[in-house]
Amino acid sequence: MPQQFTTILIYVAILGGLWFVMIRPQQKREKETKNMRNNVQDGDEIVTIGGIYGKVVSQKEDILTIEVGADKVKMKIARWAIGKIENQK
């Protein structure tokens, strides 16, 4: 009986270690990314996950309008498509 308890305890310790090493950091990154996307403001310069650089002009729920290029062409993108904020206003 004590040997079975020790074996179960070892498996639980291994699963707990894997959770701390693999799953928890991923959840933390997802939370940070979600916060970054929700805190974008008009005037921020962003890069989309597709590599498009633009300046946020307006927002409506999950759709952002950005200006890109020298001609200031306006594009609508989904909020989830923001890869990173280059500089915040």
Q: Domain spans of the chain? A: 1-39, 41-89
Cα-flanking dihedrals φ and ψ of residue 43, to 5°? Answer: 100, -15
CB 43 within 8 A of CB 55: yes
**Options 3.40.50, 2.40.128, 2.60.310, 2.30.30; CATH of 41-89:** 2.30.30
pLDDT of residue 1: 62
Burial class (CB within 10 angstroms; exposed 0-12, middle 13-18, buried 19+) of 65:
middle
Could you tell me which residues come within 8 angstroms of residue 60 by beta carbon, excluding any fewer than 6 positions away? none
| pTM over 0.75, yes/no | no
What's the rounded Cα separation, in Å, for the pair 34 and 66? Answer: 19
pLDDT of residue 44: 94
Query: pLDDT tens track of the chain, all 89 residues?
Result: 678 889 999 999 999 888 888 888 899 999 999 999 999 999 999 999 999 999 999 999 999 999 999 999 999 999 999 999 998 76
- Tokens at residue 32, please? 């940070």
